Homo-oligomer: A and B are copies of this chain.
């Protein structure tokens, strides 16, 4: 593209980059891998000169939403993974400043190596996903800092023109509070650069939580269909009064089975609820399966535990608490336990351990296997859903944290997916005090003739049925970025008159 930074046009690599976990037709012209801020600026200037649009990705692991594939045809991919310095760690104020190539794995290792007293928040996706990429897409995790974009500050951005802008106090010289006070003075622009095509975030401070004195995870389940609404209504007050400081995750029966194994051999698709019940009974999970964690001093955790027990009493069939010590004990005794009882605790531990770790901000590869649900071969040691032609489409509508709304949303999703021949793999996250983000996975095998089309038809039908009832996604896949308000289009035209930065991303260009 630019003489100093030639685009990679190797057919194999282009083909890989053009492959998502669902059917797409967009082609990529080349791949640029800049190594510095200045090179990114130069790429943007050259893009304006040549009129060739560029599509930035940080680590490119936007699986389920389009991976590295641009919404528009003919872009050059701007791969930022080589710009990957951890610029600053501030132990006292609890933040880290990173570049777009910094991954979850990298930060986790860095904190460990430094003996840091801070915990990161990890999303359940790949350990190799970018922190900036996930935060600007407004992804979420499992600790009190689970709403990622609510915990970032002081962005440095390359605008479509190639110029640099800072948000908040990061736009001021030598600002002492740039990493800790998000608003700055004047209009706050952080939000403009999330889920957007208005700029490339090149640097971001992410707040980190101090490791608590004591940590305890909790798990519950219920076999009852109606329990969902009841425990959402019971947990909301605890989220709102600050007792539950972190996100709460709830998986339906299908999602748990999806976490434990691939589609059961010998069953026909879709696996119907009646059949599902048998698996739940056999493998000892519920129709609904919740998890969360408590953070604080021993006394704080004890009081939160008391309140949680009281809130859930009579609404769930089982509630269990687990800390580092009990987890270690369970692992140690799983073999004799099995011998004595016949129950395989190690299987339970296999699914519990990564969830437990995530609640402490530990990235895991364990979740990636779930993309292989309908594949005929098991997930490999290095899962890559794009490469392995896993079919995966995510749809992530938001509901208010009220039993009736959440139940309505889940009801629509489950029935629509089943009607289209797909298992409703559903997780719910009480992401803020007042809202629940639902992630609906349509998982299939791209090798099966016609499945790409059937899966997308199912996605469209679900999306439409939910929108009809006022449930909209917190995040969009590249196949759904056809909205955008008149105001947004005005802003886009102003900052990117040539429409060369990620055209069509979260914003359909209209006249």
User: Shortest distance in angstroms between A145's beta carbon and chain B's nearest beta carbon?
Assistant: 10
Contact A169 B506 (CB under 8 A): no
- A184 proximity list for chain B (CB < 8 A): 472, 474
CB-nearest residue of chain B relative to A173? B470
> For chain A residues 465-511, which have a beta carbon within 8 Å of chain B?
467, 469-476, 483-488, 490-491, 493-495, 506-507
Task: For A5, list chain B residues within 8 Å (CB).
Answer: none
Known: A240-B94, A242-B242, A300-B300. A183 touches B474 (CB 8 A): yes
A52 CB–B CB distance under 8 Å = no
A104 touches B (CB below 8 Å): no
Q: Given A181-B435, A243-B300, A300-B303 in contact, is the A186-B402 Cβ separation under 8 Å?
A: no
**Of B177, B242, B432, the contact of A181 (CB 8 Å cutoff):** B432
Contact in complex: A176, B507 (CB < 8 Å): no
| Contact indicator A187/B195 (Cβ below 8 Å) | yes
A138: CB under 8 A from chain B? yes
Identical subunits present: 2
Q: Residues of A within 8 Å of B, CB-based: how many?
A: 91
Q: Is the CB of A181 within 8 A of B470?
A: no
A325 to B491, CA, bound (A): 55
| Known contacts A94-B240, A494-B494, A470 near B189 by CB under 8 Å | no
Contacting residues, chain B, for A166 (C-beta < 8 A): 485
Q: Which of B95, B187, B299, B470 contacts A192, CB < 8 Å?
A: B187
Task: State whether B181 touches A484 (Cβ < 8 A).
Answer: no
Interface stretch among A206-214, A340-348, A359-367, A377-385?
A: A206-214
Is B241 touching A185 in the complex (CB atoms < 8 A)? no
Instruction: Report the minimal beta-carbon distance from A177 to chain B, rounded to whole angstroms.
Output: 4
Q: Which chain B positions have C-beta within 8 A of A222?
A: none
Q: Which of A10-18, A256-264, A393-401 lies at the binding interface?
A: A393-401
Q: How far is the CA of A484 from the CA of B398 in the complex (A)?
A: 35
| Pair B300/A183 contact, Cβ less than 8 Å | no
Which residues of B sit under 8 angstroms from A159, Cβ to Cβ?
487
A412–B20 alpha-carbon span in the complex (Å) = 56
- Say yes or no: A95 contacts B189, CB within 8 Å: no
Contact with B along A37-78 (1 / 0, CB 8 A): 000000000000000000000000000000000000000000
Q: Are A192 and B186 in contact (CB under 8 A)?
A: no
Please report which residues of chain A, range 158-212, place their CB below 8 angstroms from some CB of chain B when the two chains form the complex: 159, 163, 165-166, 169, 171-177, 179-196, 198, 207, 209-210, 212
- A303 and B299 alpha carbons, distance in the complex (Å): 7
For A195, give its contact among B185, B297, B431 (CB under 8 Å).
B185
Distance, CA A431 to CA B182, complexed state (A): 11
Pairwise interchain contact A191-B185, C-beta atoms closer than 8 A:
no
Instruction: Tell me if A405 counts as interface (CB < 8 A to partner B).
Output: yes
Q: Is the CB of A473 within 8 A of B176?
A: no
* Of B92, B175, B240, B507, the contact of A472 (CB 8 Å cutoff): B175
Residues of B within 8 A of A483 (CB): 185-186
B-chain residues with CB within 8 Å of residue A144 when the two chains form the complex: 242
The answer for the CA separation of A266 and B30 in the assembled complex, in Å, is 79
In the assembled complex, the Cα of A189 lies from the Cα of B242 at a distance in Å of 27
Give the residue among A240, A495, A507 with the most B Cβ atoms within 10 A.
A240
For residue A474, give the distance in angstroms from its CB to the closest CB of chain B: 6
Query: Is A434 interfacial (CB-CB < 8 Å)?
Result: yes
Alpha-carbon separation in the docked complex, A143 to B105 (Å): 37
Extra contacts besides A180-B400, A187-B507 (11): CB < 8 Å: A149-B183, A176-B469, A177-B398, A179-B400, A187-B191, A187-B194, A187-B506, A188-B191, A188-B192, A188-B194, A242-B295
Pairs across A and B, CB under 8 Å, 27 listed: A93-B236, A95-B434, A163-B486, A169-B398, A175-B472, A177-B472, A180-B434, A181-B435, A181-B437, A183-B194, A185-B195, A185-B473, A185-B474, A185-B483, A186-B484, A187-B194, A187-B491, A188-B195, A189-B192, A189-B488, A191-B191, A207-B433, A207-B434, A297-B307, A303-B303, A490-B494, A493-B494
Q: Give A residues with C-beta under 8 Å from B.
A: 92-95, 138, 144, 149, 159, 163, 165-166, 169, 171-177, 179-196, 198, 207, 209-210, 212, 236-237, 240-243, 245, 295-297, 299-300, 303, 306-307, 398-402, 405, 431-435, 437, 467, 469-476, 483-488, 490-491, 493-495, 506-507
